[in-house]
Amino acid sequence: MRAFLGLLAAAVLAAAAPAKAERFEFVALGDTAYNLPQDLPVYDALIRKINQARPAFSIHVGDTWGAEPCTEANHRYVLAQFAKFDHPVVYTPGDNEWVDCRRPEVLEAYHRYMAGKATPQDLGLLLPLRSFDGVWESRGFADPLASLRTIRGTYFGRPQSLGGRTMPLVRQTDVMPDTPTAENTRWERGGVVFATLSVPGSGNGVTLNDEVRLREAVARNRANVEWIRAAFAEAKAKNAKAVVLALQAGLFVEGEGGDFTGKALRGGTDGPFYWTVFAIRDEAAKFGRPVLLINGDFHDLVIDRPFMVSQGEAKPPLYGNITRLQVYGAPELKAVKIRVDTDTPWVFGFEPLY
């Protein structure tokens, strides 16, 4: 009996023990190679610089191109670019890769227009697309959902990262087979739980003029909320020291957020990012340890605490444990190196890399 009680106590202590601490570094980047072909050598140089830093892995938060056709050939090219990283790369898709996909002939005319070389035929194609009927019927767009299916098949067909060296990932579809979001992944390193979320810019893919696309957005939004909860549940079960969430969309804009968040929520509390922000905010508050949110979309380096709500000088702020890192973006093809040290209260440190 004593032996049994001893084993039981040891098991309880093992379950409650904190995840093993480890100092390591990883890299975050996004919104890369917009201006072709001139951005390609700059991007290649950035990849070499990242490889020289020897991170444990890199996270690309989407927008792997600018205004380019969303073809399978272009996705295969991006896959080859990711293979130039000599370490694991975890990717979460941006809006340019599917939500904002335009028809190839529209993009060709647009590029000539931007270069000051538009022909009368180009203007005859582009101008009607700006009319109410053109916008309402999405005449300039390719099929966004077909592009999303291509992304899921190209990058997320296996439970592993991309990159020259891969690492195992848990896809949401592996543990929640009724969800559509294979692009939502999770992994752990050194006492930290990492997860990606399928939240692109351009309104999170929400549109009121296309019922099929709206149903997709609702299903994906529900899956994202479930994945946020699952990430924090995993962190609690593993007694993790911190959580990192990565997505593409910029969730905040300038202005006061009132008692909901410190900064104004993009689209407001009736907008397409409300449930994502609400879930992150409340799960992070219950977790109580450092949480890092990484996003791209706005092409400007920002490190702040947009969730934090002041309670005056006598009480600590609400949601102050959530830090946001918004990465660089084209035309500044730069990355950010994040140092992780779970023996410190703040866990995360940041350094530009270029």
Residue 298: which residues within 8 A CB-CB, separation 6 or more?
Answer: 250, 326, 329
Of the listed ranges 110-114, 234-238, 318-322, the least confidently predicted one is 110-114
How does pLDDT run across 125-175, given as a tens digit for each residue?
A: 999 999 999 999 999 999 999 999 999 999 999 999 999 999 999 999 999
Q: How far does Cα 271 stand from its chain's mean position?
A: 18
pLDDT of residue 1: 42
Where are any strands of DSSP class E within the chain?
Answer: 24-29, 58-60, 89-91, 170-171, 185-189, 192-196, 242-246, 252-256, 263-265, 291-295, 302-304, 322-326, 335-340, 348-353
Place of tokens 């990430």: 231
DSSP string, 116-165: T---HHHHHHHGGGGSHHHHHTTTTB--HHHHHHHHHHHHSSSSB-BSSS
Q: Is the model's pLDDT at 5 over the cut of 60?
A: no
**318-341: average pLDDT:** 98
Q: How confident is the model at residue 235 (pLDDT cuts 50, 70, 90)?
A: very high
User: In the chain, what's the furthest Cα-to-Cα distance?
Assistant: 90
Cβ 159 vs Cβ 168: under 8 Å: yes
Determine the pLDDT at residue 208.
Answer: 94
Instruction: Reply yes or no on whether the pLDDT at 9 is more than 90.
Output: no
How is residue 187 written in tokens?
């992994």
Query: Residue 129 carries which side chain, given as an amino acid letter?
Result: L
User: What's residue 22's pLDDT?
Assistant: 80
Alpha-carbon distance 94 to 247, whole Å?
8
For residue 312, the tally of other CB atoms under 10 A from its CB is 6
8-state DSSP, 64: -
Please report which confidence band the pLDDT of residue 17 belongs to, taking 50, 70 and 90 as the band edges: low
pLDDT in tens, 19-54: 566 899 999 999 999 988 999 999 999 999 999 999
pLDDT tens digit sequence for 63-109? 999 999 999 999 999 999 999 999 999 999 999 999 999 999 999 99
* Cα–Cα nearest to 136, from 207, 217, 213, 215: 207
For residue range 268-308, what is the model confidence (pLDDT) as tens digits? 999 999 999 999 999 999 999 999 999 999 999 999 999 99
As separate numbers, helices (DSSP H) first and strands (DSSP E) second, the chain gives 11, 14
The SS3 call for residue 244 is strand
pLDDT of residue 19: 56
Give the number of other Cβ atoms within 10 Å of residue 51's Cβ. Answer: 16
Q: What is the pLDDT of residue 8?
A: 41
Amino acid sitting at position 350: F
- How much of the chain is helix, strand and coil, in % rounded to 5? 40, 20, 45
**Average pLDDT over the chain, rounded to an integer:** 94
- pLDDT average, residue stretch 340-348: 97
